[in-house]
Amino acid sequence: MSAEPILASLLPDTATLHDRDVEVGGVSVRDLAATFGTPLFVYDEATLRSRCREAASVFDDGVAFASKSFLCGAMARLAFEEGLCIDVATGGELDIVLRSGVPASRVILHGNNKSHDELERAIAVGVHRVVVDNFEEIERLRSLVGPDSPLDCLVRVTPGVEAHTHEYVRTGQEDTKFGFSVASGDARRALSNVREVPGLTLHGVHAHIGSQIFDIDGFRATMQILADFTRDDDFDELCLGGGLGVPYVAGESALSLTEWGDAIRDAARQAGLGANLRLLAEPGRAIVAQAGITLYRVGAVKPVAQRTYMAVDGGMSDNPRPVLYGSGYEAFDVAQPLAERPQRVRLVGKHCESGDVLIDEAWLPASTGVDSVIATPVTGAYGYSMASNYNRVPRPPVVFVASGTAREVLRRETFDDLARLEV
Ligand code: LLP
């Protein structure tokens, strides 16, 4: 890390840095903090739309947005409008997407433990695909699917590939709760069990090897394994899941969605897969991460012998990723985004534990202090979607900005919202 100003490449596409403000989507970020309060999630619609379009153009029809990375009605509609299907992993995600008005025929249901009710609803509304994960699920489907209640599916397989990423978000290795192992023969058995269920149409296989992956080799290796595994199956679809990494801090670099898609397509060609096969993926992070920034207000600055703690009005409840995965972030002062950042602080939240660290070593301008509004960029993925009410902290609102206008798509939670479940 250094005292350099924040890198514009970590910010949303439309961000412009001025001496005393930052604009995103043509809207002053300082005004956003004043209007909506802090903490606040701000998403640049242009970035979201451009990433969705990129995914839709580099993969075939059926490519999906992984909604677990960030879901609300506005986001589901946006991804749908830009040509993507929506991947949901639970009945709750399915419900939000259906409420948003996105047709069920553009929804793909995932999950390693889908309940009878989740499957029943998916079939009743007519989802595009269910991705089958285990033998019990096949039996559940046998009781639900029939000539009058048909279902299209993929089978999720485990290729046995170790992706280079944090072990909590690694899923392609043999030792995993997800999918059927190719090596053990379970995947082959699953295909034949699925084929025996009347009304269940099998289109192909799916593999997802992990998340926040920078290295293309794992995707290539997976493609080769899937090609070998499905060579005689005459499938019309193959889905390589999500997983494309994004830069969070200076010094990191990642492939674009286009480069990733081209590399996957190239690997499929080299593995001898036919051109009539629809090549699909379901990126989440690569679509939403860079589009989002979080605004906080500094409330306390506490120098101790070892360092200075700077406390903001959010924390691990709106961004648990640093605590969960040791993820790094950067911060900048929205009132002086072009300034050097010589002040080293530990950026912490307002929760009652020492683990509540947003940035272990954050660099900020010398004059940033109490009442400054600071922003952490690249918080669009797995921030709001993993937000909690720990310490009964209400979740922040989410604002979409575009063409000089801000619209609130999720309002701030209130204490009444928090009390709603009391019986
Ligand atoms: N498809 C499947 C089947 C998945 O399980 C996932 C993510 C995705 C697609 C989207 O992956 P992406 O393109 O976003 O990497 N909470 C963690 C990430 C968990 C990812 C879970 N599955 C984090 O904050 O890093």
Please report, in tens digits, the pLDDT of each residue of the chain (423 residues total).
Answer: 568 999 999 999 999 999 999 999 999 999 999 999 999 999 999 999 999 999 999 999 999 999 999 999 999 999 999 999 999 999 999 999 999 999 999 999 999 999 999 999 999 999 999 999 999 999 999 999 999 999 999 999 999 998 777 777 777 788 999 999 999 999 999 999 999 999 999 999 999 999 999 999 999 999 999 999 999 999 999 999 999 999 999 999 999 999 999 999 999 999 999 888 999 999 999 999 999 999 999 999 999 999 999 999 999 999 999 999 999 999 999 999 999 999 999 999 999 999 999 999 999 999 999 999 999 999 999 999 999 999 999 999 999 999 999 999 999 999 999 999 999
Question: Which two tokens mark 189?
Answer: 């058995």
The residue to which tokens 């451009």 are assigned: 50
Q: How far is the CA of 284 from the centre of ligand 1 (A)?
A: 6
Q: Do β-strands 278-280 and 292-303 pair in parallel, antiparallel, or remain unpaired?
A: unpaired
Measure 285 CA to ligand 1 centroid, in angstroms: 7
Coil, strand, or helix at residue 10?
helix
* 374 CB-near residues (< 8 Å, 6+ apart): 295, 296, 297, 298, 312, 331, 332, 333, 334, 347, 364, 368
Give the residue numbers marked as catalytic: 352
Domain at 8-44+290-419, CATH from 1.10.3660.10, 2.40.37.10, 3.40.50.620, 3.30.390.50: 2.40.37.10
DSSP-derived 3-state class of residue 173:
coil
Q: How far is the CA of 87 from the centre of ligand 1 (A)?
A: 11
The residue nearest atom 23 of ligand 1, judged by CA position, is: 382
Q: Which two tokens stand for residue 58?
A: 């580099």
The b/e string for 224-245 (b: 16+ C-beta within 10 A; e otherwise) is: bbbbebbeeeebebbbbbbbbb
Environment class of residue 18 by beta-carbon count within 10 Å: exposed (0-12), middle (13-18) or buried (19+)? middle
Pinpoint the residues of the chain covered by CATH 3.20.20.10.
Answer: 45-288
CATH fit for domain 45-288, picks 1.10.10.10, 3.20.20.10, 1.20.1250.20, 3.40.50.300: 3.20.20.10
Amino acid at position 199, single letter: G
Pocket lined around ligand 1, Cβ cut-off 6 Å: 66, 68-69, 87, 110, 169, 208, 211-212, 241-244, 282-286, 321, 325, 382, 386
Domain(s) of CATH 2.40.37.10: residues in the chain: 8-44+290-419
Determine the atom of ligand 1 nearest the C-alpha atom of 213: 15
**Helix or strand run (H / E) with residue 347:** strand 343-348
